[in-house]
Amino acid sequence: MSKEQTDSKRAEKWTFALTVVSLIAGGTVVAGLVDRWSSSPSDDISVAASSSITMTSTPDEIPAEDVPEFSYVTPSAVYPTTIPGCEKVEAPEEDSFFSYILDGSDTYDDPRFPWFSSAKAAAMSEAVKQALPKDVELKFASPGNSLQFGPISAPSNTDGLPEGFSLEELASTTASGTLIRDGKIGALSLMLHSSSDPIPSCVAGSLVERRVLADQSVVDLQDTWSETNGVRTLGRSAMLYGVDGTRIQAYVNDTNNDGGRNAESSGVVPLTLDDLVTLVEMPQLRITTPVPPGTAPLSPGCHGIPRDSGDVAELDRATIERLNAVLEVRWRAVPPGFPILDAGPGTLTVSENDRSTACQRLLTRTGDSESTLNMTITGGQPLPKEPNKYDPSYYGHPLEFVTRPDGSVIERDERDYSTVPMTNDGSKAESTQETSRSVVVSRPNGTQVSVSSSAAIPNVPMTFEQLEFLATTEGLEIR
């Protein structure tokens, strides 16, 4: 196979790979690459056929006959054909598959990729939001689902990389969000990485148009569909091959950003191909564009404590703004000796793992001591029952359990533990001893406020009195 053919095949794989990875959330990422286009035995195809992938998964605990078959179908390529912007169009190749696991630690400041940082992510995120068409609404959600670029995901080393791929190609940052246009919903995801490979050839079925920008960067456009278990999804994408090594894919479809079996399809893709080109050609997204002076890094993400949220409604923008206003007033009334915050107190957002929970994570400082303050607020929670300290199953937590005259319950707890940070160079990191204190206030109306402070020894966490001052703030209610 020639080098040009190899590049074409890899480009075709990347078009699908970027879409797959951008839809996967969580720590460890597993990505599968499948060529979407298969050629027919005939060299002259006048009408597009359909290609399909059928897979059956059989977990050990489920009888094989009860496991449903998974079907993924896409249109096959028409070949020979012409594509606007392409001088030559190559034939599609046979389906192929490979996978890899990102086993490193996700971080904004990986020295292996100096072009990226938390401030760079903040600048790119804001640029994407500002570039959306004026009649397109970004659905209110957690930062991770509001087109905020996440940390770099990359393998810890070059061992076991897929054949033909480099570390820089597999090190990417992604952003995703749900869009609404004319009442129709759709999901937008972007993925950005760097590559020194040449611009690939045009391959039938991989794109519907190629555009060359003023700086000679190339944008490949795709407008297609796919069917998963018989459910059709419409999708469009724009893939930029920047002359500076930037690679950006913007992919949008006609479903919400939830994914899974409950994904809804609107039947209308909320962005046009021209809209996608506007996004990927922005200079702010290029890896060689410096961060504007004074750009603040992104605030640390936060997650709620796993709870049964039941039928509690998702938090809307008005609720988050109300809770933040209450906290800002409370912080202005703190007694002497309270720690100093690295950011404003009113930074509650929707939790990344529970859309019915508000949370924030702040760094605090008292003299030379630093600690991390975490707060979560959720609704629909039952009042906890006081543990029987004489029960053999009682393990010593919480340390204190107090029922107040208004019926609310306060739980105070403290724990010591060790943490071992992950590294990206394969070296063994030293463990750190930490102490965490927490105060949880549960109210009769179902609102539960949890405030905790953790610090690595010899630093010390905030006191129980300080945590309780925040947790008992009047007005921190999920109505």
225, part of any domain: yes
263 and 130, same structural domain? yes
Res 82 pLDDT > 90: yes
Cis peptide before 133 (omega within 30 of 0): no
Q: What is the number of structural domains in the chain? A: 2
Choose among 208, 273, 213: nearest CA to 244.
213
Whether 261 contacts 205, CB under 8 Å: no
387, part of any domain: yes
DSSP string computed for 89-110: EEPP----EEEEEE-S--BS--
236 and 115, same structural domain? yes
pLDDT of residue 261: 55
Band (91; pLDDT cuts 50, 70, 90): very high
Q: At what angle do helices 273-280 and 118-131 cross, to 10 degrees?
A: 150
305, part of any domain: no
> What are 355-396's pLDDT values in tens digits?
899 999 999 999 999 999 999 999 999 999 999 888 888 888
Average pLDDT across the chain, whole number: 83
> What are 246-299's pLDDT values in tens digits?
999 999 999 986 555 566 789 999 999 999 999 999 999 999 999 999 999 888
261 and 323, same structural domain? no
331 and 254, same structural domain? no
Band (311; pLDDT cuts 50, 70, 90): low
Whether 435 contacts 420, CB under 8 Å: no
pLDDT of residue 16: 39
Domain-ending residue, one of 285, 304, 331: 285
Domain-ending residue, one of 285, 304, 338: 285
169 and 260, same structural domain? yes
306, part of any domain: no
How far is the C-alpha of 135 from the C-alpha of 133, rounded, in Å?
A: 5
307, part of any domain: no
Buried b (16+ CB within 10 A) or exposed e, 189-226: bbbbbbbebebbbbbbbbbebbbeeeeebbbbbbebeb
User: Domain of 345?
Assistant: 317-471
How far is the C-alpha of 56 from the C-alpha of 400, rounded, in Å?
A: 51
Half-sphere exposure of 79 (CA within 13 A, CB side): 22
69 by Cβ neighbours in 10 Å (0-12 / 13-18 / 19+) ranks as exposed
236 and 340, same structural domain? no
Which two tokens mark 386?
Answer: 């006081």
Domain-ending residue, one of 270, 285, 300: 285
353 and 264, same structural domain? no
Residues 6 or more apart whose CB falls under 8 angstroms from that of 127 comprise 282, 284, 285
332 and 279, same structural domain? no
246 and 131, same structural domain? yes
169 and 129, same structural domain? yes
Choose among 99, 98, 102: nearest CA to 27.
102
Select, from the ranges 69-73, 144-148, 152-156, 305-309, the one with the highest average predicted confidence (pLDDT): 144-148
Whether 450 contacts 376, CB under 8 Å: yes
Cis peptide before 398 (omega within 30 of 0): yes
| Beta strands 89-90 and 136-138, pairing class | unpaired
The model's pTM is: 0.81
Dihedrals φ, ψ of 84, to 5°?
A: -55, 130
3-state secondary structure of 352: coil
Least confident of 85-89, 108-112, 163-167, 402-406: 163-167
298, part of any domain: no
478, part of any domain: no
How far is the C-alpha of 109 from the C-alpha of 195, rounded, in Å?
A: 19
321 and 278, same structural domain? no
128, part of any domain: yes
SS (H, E, C) 295-349: CCCCCCCCCCCCCCCCCCCCCCHHHHHHHHHHHHHHHCCCCCCCCEECCCCCCCE
How far is the C-alpha of 347 from the C-alpha of 362, rounded, in Å?
A: 9
How far is the C-alpha of 206 from the C-alpha of 197, rounded, in Å?
A: 18
Band (223; pLDDT cuts 50, 70, 90): very high
Total number of residues shown for the chain? 479
223 and 144, same structural domain? yes
Give 3-state DSSP helix, strand, coil % of the chain, rounded to 5: 15, 30, 50
47 by Cβ neighbours in 10 Å (0-12 / 13-18 / 19+) ranks as exposed
Outline where DSSP puts E strands in 135-275.
136-138, 173-181, 184-194, 202-203, 209-212, 218-228, 231-241, 246-253
Cβ count within 10 A of residue 81: 15
